[in-house]
Chains A and B, each alone.
Chain A
Amino acid sequence: MQQVFKRPESLKDVQTHFCPGCHHGTIHRLVADAMDLYGVQDKTIGVASVGCSVFLYGYFDIDVVEAPHGRAPAVATGVKRAKPDNFVFTYQGDGDLAAIGTAEIIHAANRGEDITVVFVNNTTYGMTGGQMAPTTLVGQKTSTSPYGRDKSKDGSPIRMAELMAQLGGVAYSARVAVDSPKHVLEAKKVMREAFGYQAEGKGFSFVEVLSSCPTNWGMNPLKANARVGEEMIPYFPLGIFKKEEA
């Protein structure tokens, strides 16, 4: 009998703590798949951020350094400079990367650090209970925007993948979603491509993944999944925004 589906080697055989319908689990899987593809599990150092994905080391069977909130790109810079032959990635939420860690991500990207950044945009602060994030959509109600995000006071949601593409040091920047089998397959391809950039020493690669947070959106898993396509993709278009051939 031929086995057509199995757990990637880089993932541990454990249950995750993610809420039902949360996309973090799927995204973990895609990251592990890319690591397996390039056979880098044994030389990967992951940098965990502060958010629902802080337990990275519990799910990935790799060495991990835990960074303070928002600082993962700086920590990864130190790791990669000390260990240039290792494979280094960060995994960060939208609060982590696009609010408190804005300086760190912009400058690690601009220096062109040879790392890969996986950016999980779920339009909210998942771990702390669903507060407004820099990516919260205009009008979206959260626990700290009870009347909906007000563009005049709270500003507009930040499109990070496009912003990253503007920076000289960035070799690859894309946005994907995992709300349908088609999107998952596309996301898998992009994740592999992004990891390939580092594997081949081509420079900084960035993948933004639109993700659901049923718990803090106050939706059941199906409704939350549908929201990604209905509300998020129209504002956060999927695509590859930069792909430096070199």
Chain B
Amino acid sequence: MSKRLFVKGNEAAAMGAVEAGCRYYFGYPITPQSDIPEYLSRELPKLNGEFIQAESEIGAINMLLGASACGVRAMTSSSSPGISLKQEGISYMAGAELPGVIINISRSGPGLGGIDASQSDYFQSVKGGGHGGYHIPVLAPNSVQEMYDLTMHAFDLADLYRTPVMLLGDSVIGQMKEALIPNARPARELPGKEWAVRGKSGAEQRVVKSLFLGDGELEAHNWRLHAKYQVMKEKECISEEYETADARLIVTGFGSVARIAHTAVTMAREEGMKVSLFRPVTLFPFPEKAIAEAAGRAGKVLVVELNTGQMVEDVRLSVGAAAQVSFYGRPPGAGSLPSPEELLEVIRKHYDDTAR
């Protein structure tokens, strides 16, 4: 049944959205994610869906808010500067507990920065870039296949937890072409949407809001959201481990850089070094337990990121005193992508330390 396709990561995400039943897309052009709106502007009208090129990212996220409040599956996508503009709406959606998927094919900053692959928006994505102390699940695909699969997963998480969900990639993941097997949408049992506005229809009034002024109401709301985040931490962590059983050094990174690190780790193995790869797929919830266990066994962790050090903070918090954590970063910009050989060199340095 499943055929093999050869498509770009961005297209795969758009295809995954359609397969997940998303029929509403709102966006504003920005490189390097424009393949997503381009694909959906072509496909959604054929499916009786709606595509709107909004006046801005602010317009787009609020259209998503409105559609989502009606209970339909809807999505937006953008890249770093556009995500900054969407943070207001994401915070309102988190507050009103509205599902919705936001794809962030991030680029380099700060400011206008550049369009190169970058992971400098880990903090913005993972730590709740908008106001109010919320969290949203953040998924970090590292292949075209995962762009497809995780987009479908994002819609399920969004409905299950009534929360916006972000997919965080970069131009490497969004622009590269790879084989894709378009698997069918997973059959996950999801709750009904009895909260969605529909026009009263003679029944109880429904209100979608994030303003809570009653005595104690907002505090209770915050504790409830907190409890929801705890459930996500318990149930929704995803990570991938490669050869961690006998490892003396664990290399970890997410998304695009994990692809390069994977090659470097394979090369290191060929040289006889007991090196492994740990790749967080969910950045929130961060796979704290899994990485702590792997790190505890190895005693040493090397974090690699395309920035000056962001995820490393979560690794340190997770690992605590169980392992020594070091960092290697390449902040974004043209020509800043490390080669596997470069990472192998870094691995050698840290592995030698381990041997001593």
Contact = CB atoms under 8 A, between A and B. Distances in A.
Interface of A: 41-45, 47-48, 54, 57, 61-68, 71, 74-83, 86-87, 103-104, 106-107, 111
A111 B199 CA distance: 23
A104 B85 CA distance: 14
Interface in B239-258: none
B232 interface: no
Given A81-B63, A82-B72, A42 B199 contact: yes
A103 B197 contact: no
B69 A78 contact: yes
A42 B58 contact: no
A65 B223 CA distance: 23
A75 B210 CA distance: 14
A180 B168 CA distance: 57
Contacts of A81: 24, 50, 52, 63, 66-67
Q: Decide if the interface of chain B is mainly helix, strand, loop or mixed.
A: mixed
A106 B210 CA distance: 25
Using C-beta atoms within 8 Å of the partner chain, give the interface range for chain B.
35 or more
B198 A86 contact: yes
20 contacts: A42-B201, A47-B66, A63-B197, A63-B199, A63-B205, A64-B207, A68-B88, A75-B63, A77-B59, A77-B66, A78-B24, A78-B26, A78-B68, A79-B66, A79-B197, A81-B67, A82-B67, A83-B70, A83-B198, A87-B199
Given A66-B207, A79-B69, A104-B55, A41 B200 contact: yes
B144 interface: no
A27 B296 CA distance: 66
Contacts of B197: 45, 63-65, 79
Contacts of B60: 74
Interface of B: 24, 26, 50, 52, 54-56, 58-60, 62-72, 74, 88-89, 92, 96, 197-202, 205-211
A61 B58 contact: no
B96 A104 contact: no
A96 to B, nearest CB: 13
Contacts of B68: 78
A232 B64 CA distance: 37
A246 to B, nearest CB: 23
Nearest to A50: B211
B97 to A, nearest CB: 12
Contact of A77 (B52, B56, B202): B52
B74 A66 contact: no
A164 to B, nearest CB: 15
A86 B200 CA distance: 10
Contacts of B208: 64-66
B231 to A, nearest CB: 26
A31 B32 CA distance: 45
Given A75-B66, A78-B67, A104-B59, A45 B24 contact: no
Contacts of A68: 62, 65, 88-89, 92
A118 B64 CA distance: 22
A61 B89 contact: no
A48 B92 CA distance: 13
Contact of A66 (B52, B63, B209): B209
A246 B43 CA distance: 31
Residue among B24, B54, B59, B71 with max Cβ neighbours from chain A (10 Å): B59
